């Protein structure tokens, strides 16, 4: 009101801002600003962006990245849900890369595609070049690169409509057959993954808006004025200092509780990697080391849950061997060894049982008894697998002497009887 009285204009509300009931806000501009930050961190020679008034030619792109010449181009296929084939070096060279992101005459977006293999908006381009027939017209008569191929994958776009979209673009050059003898044993393909921008305004407008926010955030950070940062500045700085260990760990546990194990592995691995780097710099506190152990355990647990026991093993072993307390680490490690049919399974089980039996009665806790029953159960399982039925039955009867209603022990004893009868 005072602003109006004194003729001072109120700051207009941005159309990208969403206000919540608790008074907090979210600015959708962050979706393109985060990707622009990533784009700006790419080396200059791999920064490609285009717009509705500029054509990014496919030939210029691949020539710049991989030295593929116009004279070598043969056939380009594009799979975006339907299959399109382009032949002829001029047509392939001048193919407008990301051209489908242009709006039509009515200003409408038409870039949606059914996508390759029904993955929406995901496009696969396959280029054959340096084919045998091209060797007749190409002045370069080398044979080692004959019948070469380039595969290009366009990911679902990110960013913000009307401003700028970013397409994660992955290039793969498979090993050429005739190059194998020159590259040594088991040569590997060449791959590159970059962000390519498609602007709906000028490049200068995009970069000016980005750097005004980014530089403001850096100045406030350097001058200790973090509390003065707005939403966009805070979010942008968080990306710059990614990963935030506690935040990644929190989201990892959250998605793991929803059985989103692959997602959880990504979050936990971000924290695990950051903590590892601190350890190598001798900057890891005792508390952070415990977090490192827990991260390793949770990564191993997630891999175990999706049946990747060989990947699970490394992480579960680290947590089990570096934790002085916590039977959950030992338990999952033993489960993993058994799943892998590792010959150390019984030895490690017996070692843990021996350590527990040496404890004095007044030193034992309820967790000791639970862990001991777990060890005996797993020991019996191993013995049954080894067809040592009598020893297994002895262990199961011991469980029943402590817990007469134990269903596992009852069922396993009946299972042993069946196995013996079938021999």
* Domain coordinates in residue numbering, the chain: 2-26+207-240, 46-201, 245-422
Return d(Cα 351, Cα 335) in angstroms, integer.
15
Calpha distance 33→39 (Å, rounded): 10
Specify whether the CB–CB gap between 132 and 169 falls below 8 A.
no
Measured distance CA(367)–CA(369) in Å, rounded: 5
Whole-number Å distance between alpha carbons of 204 and 209: 9
Q: What does the pLDDT read at residue 105?
A: 87
Greatest alpha-carbon pair distance for the chain in Å reads: 99
- Taking Cα atoms as reference points, which of 26, 267, 41 lies closest to residue 166? 41
Q: Residue 280 has which token pair? A: 């190598």
d(CA 245, CA 156) in angstroms, rounded, equals 28
- 158-160/148-154 β-pairing: unpaired
How large is the angle between the packed helices 231-240 and 203-222, nearest 10 degrees? Answer: 80
The answer to whether 271 and 295 have CB atoms below 8 angstroms apart is yes
pLDDT for 177: 73
Residue pair 195/170 in contact by the 8 Å Cβ criterion = no
Integer Cα distance of 408 and 396 in angstroms: 9
pLDDT at 191: 94
User: How many whole angstroms separate alpha carbon 269 and alpha carbon 225?
Assistant: 31
CB-based burial label for 175 (10 Å; 0-12, 13-18, 19+): middle
3-state percent breakdown (helix, strand, coil) of the chain, nearest 5: 55, 15, 30
Using CA of residue 142, residue 144, residue 148, residue 150, what is the dihedral sign? negative
Residue in 41, 55, 44, 36 with CA at minimum distance from that of residue 163: 36
Q: Say which DSSP state 54 is in.
A: B
Residue 147 is classified by DSSP as S
Q: Which residues of 13-25 are buried (b: 16+ CB within 10 A; e: fewer)?
A: eeebeeeeeeeee
pLDDT for residue 187: 77
Burial category of 276 from C-beta neighbours within 10 Å (exposed 0-12, middle 13-18, buried 19 and up): middle
How far apart CA 78 and CA 121 sit, in angstroms, is 12
Whole-model pTM: value is: 0.67
Q: What is the full per-residue pLDDT of the chain (423 aa) written as tens digits?
A: 334 433 444 445 565 666 655 565 567 788 888 889 889 999 999 999 999 999 999 999 999 999 999 999 999 999 999 999 999 999 999 999 999 999 988 888 888 889 999 999 999 999 999 887 777 777 777 766 778 899 999 999 999 888 899 999 999 999 877 666 665 667 788 999 999 999 998 888 888 988 998 899 889 888 888 888 888 888 787 766 656 787 788 889 999 999 999 999 999 999 999 899 889 988 888 888 999 999 999 999 999 999 999 999 999 999 999 987 668 899 999 999 999 999 999 999 999 989 888 888 877 777 888 888 899 999 999 999 999 999 999 999 988 988 888 888 889 998 898 888 886
Tokens of residue 306, six digits: 């999706």
| Residue 139 per-residue DSSP state | S
pLDDT of amino acid 30: 83
Q: How is 184-210 classified by DSSP, letter by letter?
A: -SSPPPEEEEEEEEEESS-HHHHHHHH
CATH fold group of domain 245-422: 1.25.40
């Amino acid at each position: 009101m005072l602003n109006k009285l004194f003729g001072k204009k109120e700051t207009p509300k941005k159309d990208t801002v969403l206000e919540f009931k608790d008074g907090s806000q979210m600015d959708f501009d962050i979706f393109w600003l985060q990707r622009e930050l990533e784009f700006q961190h790419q080396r200059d020679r791999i920064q490609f962006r285009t717009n509705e008034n500029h054509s990014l030619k496919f030939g210029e792109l691949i020539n710049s990245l991989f030295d593929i010449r116009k004279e070598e181009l043969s056939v380009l296929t594009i799979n975006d849900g339907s299959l399109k084939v382009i032949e002829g070096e001029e047509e392939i060279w001048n193919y407008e890369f990301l051209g489908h992101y242009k709006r039509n005459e009515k200003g409408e977006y038409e870039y949606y595609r059914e996508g390759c293999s029904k993955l929406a908006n995901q496009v696969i381009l396959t280029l054959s070049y340096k084919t045998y027939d091209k060797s007749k017209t190409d002045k370069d008569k080398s044979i080692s690169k004959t019948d070469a191929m380039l595969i290009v994958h366009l990911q679902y776009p990110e960013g913000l409509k009307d401003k700028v979209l970013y397409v994660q673009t992955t290039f793969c050059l498979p090993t050429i057959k005739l190059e194998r003898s020159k590259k040594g044993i088991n040569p590997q393909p060449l791959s590159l993954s970059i962000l390519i921008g498609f602007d709906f305004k000028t490049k200068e407008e995009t970069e000016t808006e980005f750097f005004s926010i980014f530089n403001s955030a850096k100045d406030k950070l350097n001058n200790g004025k973090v509390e003065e940062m707005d939403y966009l500045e805070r979010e942008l700085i968080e990306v710059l200092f990614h990963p935030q260990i506690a935040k990644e760990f929190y989201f990892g546990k959250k998605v793991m509780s929803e059985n989103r194990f692959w997602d959880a592995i990504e979050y936990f691995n971000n924290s695990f990697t950051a903590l590892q780097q601190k350890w190598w710099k001798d900057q890891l506190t005792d508390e952070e080391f415990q977090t490192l152990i827990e991260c390793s355990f949770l990564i191993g647990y997630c891999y175990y849950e999706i049946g990747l026991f060989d990947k699970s093993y490394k992480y579960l072993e680290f947590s089990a061997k570096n934790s002085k307390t916590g039977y959950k680490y030992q338990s999952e490690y033993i489960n993993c060894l058994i799943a892998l049919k590792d010959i150390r399974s019984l030895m490690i089980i017996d070692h843990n049982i021996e350590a527990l039996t040496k404890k004095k009665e007044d030193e034992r806790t309820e967790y000791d008894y639970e862990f001991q029953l777990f060890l005996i159960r797993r020991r019996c399982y191993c013995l049954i697998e080894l067809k040592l039925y009598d020893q297994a039955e002895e262990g199961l009867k011991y469980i029943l002497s402590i817990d007469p209603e134990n269903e596992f022990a009852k069922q396993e004893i009946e299972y042993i009887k069946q196995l013996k009868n079938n021999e």
